[in-house]
Amino acid sequence: MGILYVVATPIGNLKDITLRALEILKQVDLILAEDTRVTKKLLNQYDVKKPLKRYDEHIAERVHGEVGDRLRKGERVALVSDAGTPGISDPGSRLVRFIQEELPDAKIIPIPGPSALVTALSVSGVNADRFTFLGYPPHKKGRQTFFKKLEIIEVRPIVLYESPHRLEKTLASISEVFGEGYEIIVARELTKLHEEIFRGSMLETQSHFQGEKKKGEFVIIIP
Ligand code: SAM
Domain boundary among 111, 138, 166: 111
Q: For residues 51 and 150, state if they share a domain.
A: no
Q: For residues 94 and 127, state if they share a domain.
A: no
Cα-to-centroid distance, 9 and ligand 1 (Å): 11
Judge if the beta carbon of residue 6 lies within 6 A of ligand 1. Answer: no
pLDDT tens digit sequence for 16-65: 999 999 999 999 999 999 999 999 999 999 999 999 999 998 999 999 99
Q: For residues 56 and 129, state if they share a domain.
A: no
CA 36 to each of CA 17, 27, 181: distance values in angstroms, whole numbers, following the listed order = 17, 18, 42
Treating both helix axes as pointing N-terminal to C-terminal, what angle do 92-102 and 60-72 enclose, rounded to 10 degrees?
40
pLDDT band at 205 (very low <50, low <70, confident <90, very high): very high
pLDDT tens digit sequence for 106-151: 999 999 999 999 999 999 999 999 999 999 999 999 999 999 999 9
Cβ partners under 8 Å of residue 58, min gap 6:
none
Judge if the beta carbon of residue 40 lies within 6 A of ligand 1. Answer: no
Cα-to-centroid distance, 73 and ligand 1 (Å): 34
User: Is residue 83 within 8 Å of residue 38, measured between CB atoms?
Assistant: yes
Cα-to-centroid distance, 1 and ligand 1 (Å): 33
Query: Residue 212: what pLDDT?
Result: 87
Query: Residue 84: what pLDDT?
Result: 98
CA 223, CA 209: separation in Å to the nearest integer? 19
Domain boundary among 54, 81, 111: 111
**Span of 10-14, 69-73, 213-217 with lowest mean pLDDT:** 213-217
Q: For residues 147 and 76, state if they share a domain.
A: no
> Percentage of the chain with pLDDT > 70?
100
CATH number for the domain including 62? 3.40.1010.10
Q: Whose CA is nearest to atom 2 of ligand 1?
A: 84
Q: For residues 100 and 11, state if they share a domain.
A: yes
Q: For residues 8 and 106, state if they share a domain.
A: yes
Q: Average pLDDT of 89-111?
A: 97
Q: Where are the beta strands (DSSP E) in 50-181?
A: 52-54, 76-80, 107-111, 132-135, 158-162
Q: Whose CA is nearest to atom 7 of ligand 1?
A: 89
Domain range holding 72? 3-111
Which atom of ligand 1 lies closest to the CA of 87?
Answer: 1
Q: Average pLDDT of 186-215?
A: 96
Judge if the beta carbon of residue 80 lies within 6 A of ligand 1. Answer: no
Cis peptide before 157 (omega within 30 of 0): yes
Residue, of 213 and 33, whose pLDDT is higher: 33
- Say if pTM beats, i.e. exceeds, 0.95: yes
Tell me, rounded to whole angstroms, the distance of Cα 210 from its chain centroid. Answer: 24
Which atom of ligand 1 lies closest to the CA of 114?
Answer: 4
Judge if the beta carbon of residue 218 lies within 6 A of ligand 1. Answer: yes
Cα-to-centroid distance, 197 and ligand 1 (Å): 14
Among 89, 66, 88, smallest CA distance to 77 is for: 66
Q: Whose CA is nearest to atom 8 of ligand 1?
A: 89
pLDDT tens digit sequence for 1-14: 999 999 999 999 99
Q: For residues 147 and 207, state if they share a domain.
A: yes
CATH number for the domain including 217? 3.30.950.10
Q: For residues 83 and 21, state if they share a domain.
A: yes
Domain boundary among 73, 92, 111: 111
Q: Average pLDDT of 161-177?
A: 97
CA 176, CA 206: separation in Å to the nearest integer? 12
Number of domains in the chain: 2
Among 17, 33, 11, smallest CA distance to 83 is for: 11
